[in-house]
Amino acid sequence: MEMAKKMFGLGILIAIIMLSGCQTAQNITIMSYNIHHGQGTDGKLDLDRIASIIEKSQAGLVILNEVDNNYSGRSNNEDQGQVLADKLRMNHVFGPGIITGDPAKPNLYGNAILSKFPIKSSKTHKLPGPGEPRCCLEAEIELPGGILTVFATHLEHSKSEARSKQANEIMRLVEKCKTPLIVAGDMNATPTSETIAVYLQKLFDTEQLANSKVSSITIKDNRAAKIDYIFVSTDLVKNVKSYNVIDNDVTAVASDHFPIKSIVKIPSSKKAN
């Protein structure tokens, strides 16, 4: 009897060890949202409204564009990425495209990533081209099954040649990546543009994967077009479960863009050392 108890206890211990080392696939809701520094089309600066939209989406990973960090009085000189992370109890990293003012306490404006999962590392890459300084924020996200690399960016708005150069630079970064990856953000380019063609050489638009077409509208200005995207790498193509634009009474005024989201099953992968 005593021996049977010991064997039973040993069996449980082995099972626990095996389960703890098991790396399983996981569905992740991914959002991309140009928040227009929290100022809505109604003229109100309201980060609580942005936080509420993100919370209701149940996103575990959020790519944000047009984020202020001590930028100016227009956003009360707040670190908006940190404010949103605190409100949502998420981890975050920030990558500035614009850096001005006092080097000791610079005025920053750029992209941010919010994550319910640990962020192992991040780096900000400057992008080429004239006009407003642009960047791509790269982050390694530690999921239960391994590392997911996320590239968050916001491309040049007025010059198509600059956008294409920036997209090519991002693809150069993508080609070095050894993990499943996401590229997301405001590309300022429509689905049939040369810029998007650069991405589609090796990446896949989650809207097209989920719906077999590209027809959404993500910007509310006179373009009335899709310019925000969530792209995935080849190893995630079969794992895209859904895509939708979050279009409701709140998102209609919270920013000049609609947020988009996709549910993607991230497969197990060997964790980076």
pTM (global) more than 0.85 = yes
| Tokens encoding 45 | 């600066």
- Give the H or E element holding residue 15: helix 2-20
How far is residue 167's CA from residue 154's CA, in Å, rounded to a whole number? 10
pLDDT level of residue 269 (50, 70, 90 thresholds): low
Ramachandran region of residue 63, left (φ > 0), alpha (ψ -120 to 50) or beta?
Answer: beta
Which residues have a Cβ under 8 Å from the Cβ of 117 and sit 6 or more positions away? 60, 61, 91, 141, 142, 143
| Tokens encoding 239 | 């794992």
Delimit the domains of the chain by residue range.
Answer: 25-266
Distance of CA 198 to the CA centre of its chain: 19
How far is residue 33's CA from residue 62's CA, in Å, rounded to a whole number? 8
Model confidence over 5-15: pLDDT tens digits? 444 454 444 44
| Per-residue confidence (pLDDT) for residue 237, from 0 to 100 | 97
Is 267 or 110 the better-scoring residue by pLDDT? 110
| Per-residue confidence (pLDDT) for residue 213, from 0 to 100 | 82
Distance set, CA 140 to CA 26, 93, 179, 182 (Å): 16, 11, 9, 10
Mean pLDDT over 74-96 rounds to 98
Residue 18 in this model has a pLDDT that exceeds 50: no
Question: Helix axis angle, 80-88 relative to 47-57, nearest 10°?
Answer: 50
Is 5 or 252 the better-scoring residue by pLDDT? 252
Let me know if domain 25-266 sits in CATH 3.60.10.10.
yes
Mean pLDDT of the chain, nearest integer? 91
Instruction: Pick the most confident of 5-9, 130-134, 205-209.
Output: 205-209
